[in-house]
Amino acid sequence: MTKIALITGITGQDGSYLVEYLLSLNYEVHGIIRRSSSFNTRRIDHLYKDSHAENVNLFLHYGDITDYGRLSGLIREIQPDEVYNLAAQSHVRVSFDMPEYTGQATALGTTCILEALRKNNGDTKFYQASSSEMFGSALPPQSEVTRFHPRSPYAVAKVYSFWMTVNYREAYGMHASNGILFNHESPRRGETFVTKKITSAAAKIKKGIQKFLYLGNLNSKRDWGFTPEYVKGMYDILQLDKPVDLVLATGKSASVYEFLEYVFEYADLDPDKHIKIDPRYFRPSEVESLLGDISKAKNTIGWSPKVNIKDLAKIMTDFDFLENGLEPIGEGVKIMERLGLNWTKIPRNMI
């Protein structure tokens, strides 16, 4: 019997890779998208066929995670076996400017989904996209037993969603799990996130259409991995007989400046000639160091990532060279091929 999955945030970086993976497993996939005056499905356009064609396995529905009535109706209609809640206002710096909206979308939206599942189909497996930002100022390495100390409205909202997921699991016996994912990046990362800003700028500087890259805190350390490996971990979590909360990370961290150095060295650029610091990009309260302990994930689902931060820098830089009409340097392309990902089929319009 074909399994049915419902994904919120399907048009985002994680959602686009997850739907690709689920379709490769012959799932029927449904996604919730927000109504907009402009199309916002570019990351999944290469997957979405004519809805009137035969053998369609991907269906998109207008909705919003804060609209309980719409969510409840969709869940009742679709009857999903699995729900992946990836939707959120996910930009940490922006959450300081929009704390109320961040709370509504990132926190209360989770409650709407959980309550809709409880009332319509208590047997559906639920995955909540939790974040390493929840650890905040907690000393590294951080694991499932590390105490949360969030340092942004986004992180506070994610903590709320984490505990709401645990509460529904304990109160109603629901198969509700949290994946506490540390930073995971890819060529599909949004332009306002620091890794993408760096790789995109390297390509534009190389082409001569940009001179400077403006950044904030270069000393923050993060545990950076490759998104396609992380969505496989999301799936593996929901295949367990019992719900669980798991950290997914690489177990290694690097500063923003170190990532910058990897990219610029690969692109044969001197960062000191092109980097400027702009105070606007500093957060009111910083998170200095995030480093994940994946011991439990290794033991529970056998999950262990293969792509390190230097490989990640090469993959993203090669893609941005290609996007800007430059010949890729090549090492990133080879890494993708080694992972079984067909570089030539990555759509140009997905970013």
Q: Which two tokens stand for residue 70?
A: 């719409």
Higher pLDDT, 61 or 36: 61
Catalytic: which of 17, 127, 154, 160? 154
Report whether pLDDT(93) > 70. Answer: yes
Q: Is the pLDDT of residue 52 over 60?
A: no
Tell me: the pLDDT tens digits for 331-341? 999 999 888 87
Of the candidates 9, 8, 11, 6, the one whose C-alpha atom is nearest the C-alpha of residue 22 is 6
- pLDDT greater than 80 at residue 5: yes
Flag whether pLDDT at 102 surpasses 90: yes
Residue 301 identity:
I
- Top CATH class, 194-222+253-286+307-345: alpha beta
In the predicted structure, residue 36 carries a pLDDT above the cut 60: no
Secondary structure (3-state) at 184: strand
pLDDT at 89: 86
With a cut of 70, say whether residue 293 has pLDDT above it. Answer: yes
Question: What tokens appear for 28 in the block?
Answer: 């029927």
**At 300, is the pLDDT very low, low, confident or very high (cuts 50, 70, 90)?**
very high
| Across 91-116, average pLDDT | 93
Pairing status of strand 58-62 against strand 221-222: unpaired
Q: In terms of Cα–Cα distance, which of 103, 117, 237, 110 is closest to 162? A: 110
For the segment 323-327, the average pLDDT, to the nearest whole number, is: 94
- State the chain's mean pLDDT as an integer: 92
- Is residue 337 flagged as an active site residue? no
Q: Please state, in angstroms and as integers, the Cα–Cα distance from residue 147 to each residue in 137, 144, 249, following that order.
A: 10, 8, 17
pLDDT of 347 higher than 50? no
- For the entire predicted model, the pTM comes to 0.93
What per-residue confidence (pLDDT) applies to 55? 60
Cis omega (within 30 of 0) for bond into 141 = yes
Three state DSSP letters for 276-321: EECHHHCCCCCCCECCECCHHHHHHHCCCCCCCHHHHHHHHHHHHH
Q: Count other Cβ atoms within 10 Å, centred on residue 157.
A: 29
pLDDT at 50 over 70: no
Reading the block at residue 186, the tokens are 């890819």
Active-site residue identified among 90, 131, 143, 186: 131
The pLDDT confidence band at residue 306, using thresholds 50, 70 and 90, is very high
pLDDT value at residue 1: 86
Q: Of the candidates 1, 6, 10, 22, which has an alpha carbon nearest to the alpha carbon of residue 125?
A: 6
Closest CA to 224 of 191, 258, 182: 182
From start to end of the chain, where are the E strands? 4-8, 28-33, 58-62, 82-85, 125-131, 176-181, 184-185, 213-215, 221-222, 225-226, 245-248, 254-255, 275-277
Residue with tokens 């409205």: 153
CATH architecture, range 4-185+225-248: 3-Layer(aba) Sandwich (3.40)
- Average pLDDT in the 290-315 region? 97
For residues 347 and 42, give the distance between their C-alpha atoms in angstroms, rounded to a whole number. 9
Is 245 in a helix, a strand, or coil? Answer: strand
Q: In the annotation, is 62 catalytic?
A: no
Known catalytic residue at 133 = yes
**Listed range (39-48, 163-172, 197-206) with the worst mean pLDDT:** 39-48
Q: What pLDDT, in 10s, does the model give residues 170-210?
A: 999 999 999 999 999 999 999 989 999 999 999 999 999 99
What's the pLDDT tens digit per position in 109-130?
999 999 999 998 779 999 999 9
User: Where in the chain are the domains?
Assistant: 4-185+225-248, 194-222+253-286+307-345
What is the predicted pLDDT for the residue at 40?
65
Token couple for 323: 């996007």
User: For position 49, what pLDDT does the model report?
Assistant: 57
pLDDT given for residue 348 in this prediction: 41
CB half-sphere exposure, 338, CA atoms < 13 A? 10
